[in-house]
Amino acid sequence: MEYRNLGRSGLKVSPISLGTNAFGGRADEATSIAVVHKALDSGINLIDTADTYMGGESERIIGLALQGRRTQAVLATKGWFPMGEGPNDRGLSRKHILDAVDASLRRLQTDYIDLYQMHNWDPETPLEETLETLNDLVGSGKVRYIGCSNFAGWQFVKALGISERRGWARFISNQPEYSPANRKIERDVIPAGIAEGVGQIVYFPLAGGLFTGKYKRNEAPPEDSRAITQGERFKNRWMTDRNFTLVERMTEIAAEAGISLPHLAIAWAMAKPGITSAIVGASKVAQLADNIGACEAKLTPEVIKRVDEVSADFV
Ligand SMILES: NC(=O)c1ccc[n+]([C@@H]2O[C@H](COP(=O)([O-])OP(=O)(O)OC[C@H]3O[C@@H](n4cnc5c(N)ncnc54)[C@H](OP(=O)(O)O)[C@@H]3O)[C@@H](O)[C@H]2O)c1
């Protein structure tokens, strides 16, 4: 595994990271623990979770899986989503962040989080309040590095300016959606990240599973897939004519390049400038074992260009 520095930091992370929002849901506890162990055994060190995933179950199960193996993992979690009914049980206020970090640490059974990410922008809290709180958490040792998620370029650049002026810990990463089916971050987020030393850890590189090739135009989805459990929401979001045309073109490119469709999609995301790691979710050990193969798929510049061309409408 070739590790990469995350943003402008010394933290080394794998170019594929483990997505865990199926833990405690589509993946039961035993399967989820086996998936984490498979990831670590294969050299994947970045494990991404959030307090909100399955109401805290994802963090709890990761805590179990990391017993005795904590230092092998770069453990990344997030806060922002509502975790209770109260007005302070959400967002990026000092009160909520401090409560949320303590709750995450309890569920994860650890005394530090490697990367603490702001899950979304909070327009109702002054950015200074959030950043000072994060700086305090880094100082206390509860958090080692800080990042954000779903931030626009201007939002994290504004945050970096404040951190720099105040001498506070800075964001080293952002976590946006990115795949050939959604390249919007190429307009602004990626250039801002490259200019400012903020690495992108991207989610949905398989477009919810579309680039596994298991969903076909005019065919019923496989029985054990997310399209069945999520129903109309999944179908409306992903199973569109436009996306199926893209999948069909990508399938041709993969066949000509002699690699599988999921490997092409993941390796394409990993190869793009400014992208540090692609988060791949897995509800089964076999899925993860298959997806790890993307690390070996070295795409030629011509193959990358062809994917860029067939997905040009998605920028
Ligand atoms: N920051 C954010 O706001 C945000 C938002 C969303 C996600 N995320 C992160 O990104 C992670 C990845 O999300 P995701 O899992 O939805 O993204 P994804 O990588 O686009 O989709 C992966 C899904 O495709 C299916 N799959 C994967 N490999 C397969 C294989 N080899 N063969 C067949 N099916 C396969 C699995 O779904 P099924 O088996 O269920 O069909 C798997 O869960 C999440 O776990 C989370 O950590 C972050």
| DSSP single-letter state for residue 50 | -
C-alpha distances out from residue 29 to 7, 245, 292, Å: 32, 37, 21
Looking at the chain, the whole-number percentage of residues with pLDDT higher than 70 is 100
Whether 211 lines ligand 1, by a CB cut-off of 6 Å, is no
Q: What is the pLDDT of residues 253-267, one digit of tens each?
A: 999 999 999 999 999
Closest Cα to atom 17 of ligand 1: 204
Whether the predicted pLDDT of 311 surpasses 90 = yes
Residue 115's pLDDT is 99
Taking the CB of residue 164, how many other CB atoms lie within 10 A of it? 11
Residue 212 pLDDT level (bands cut at 50, 70, 90): very high
What is the architecture, at CATH level 2, of domain 4-207+269-295? Alpha-Beta Barrel (3.20)
C-alpha distances out from residue 141 to 111, 145, 178, 185, Å: 8, 10, 31, 32
Instruction: Tell me the domain boundaries of the chain.
Output: 4-207+269-295
Residue 257's pLDDT is 97
Residue 224's pLDDT is 85
| DSSP single-letter state for residue 279 | E
Q: What is the pLDDT of residues 63-111, one digit of tens each?
A: 999 999 999 999 999 999 999 999 999 999 999 999 999 999 999 999 9
How many angstroms separate the alpha carbon of residue 265 from the centre of ligand 1? 13
How many angstroms separate the alpha carbon of residue 131 from the centre of ligand 1? 30
**Contact between 46 and 19 (Cβ < 8 Å):** no
Structure tokens at 89: 């049980």
Residue 85's pLDDT is 98
Whether 21 lines ligand 1, by a CB cut-off of 6 Å, is yes
How many angstroms separate the alpha carbon of residue 39 from the centre of ligand 1? 14
**Contact between 250 and 211 (Cβ < 8 Å):** yes
Nearest atom within ligand 1 for CA of residue 117: 1
3-class DSSP state of 144: strand
Residue 67's pLDDT is 98
Whether 117 lines ligand 1, by a CB cut-off of 6 Å, is no
Under 8 Å CB-to-CB from 139, ≥6 apart: which residues? none
Q: Which of 3, 53, 178, 215 is catalytic?
A: 53
Global pTM value: 0.97
Residue 207's pLDDT is 96
Q: Residue type for 54, please?
A: M
Whether the predicted pLDDT of 243 surpasses 90 = yes
3-class DSSP state of 86: coil
Average pLDDT on 114-120 reads 99
d(CA 17, CA 206): 13
Residue 298's pLDDT is 87
Under 8 Å CB-to-CB from 65, ≥6 apart: which residues? 32, 33, 36, 37
Average pLDDT of every residue of the chain:
97
Closest Cα to atom 26 of ligand 1: 209
Q: Residue type for 181, please?
A: A
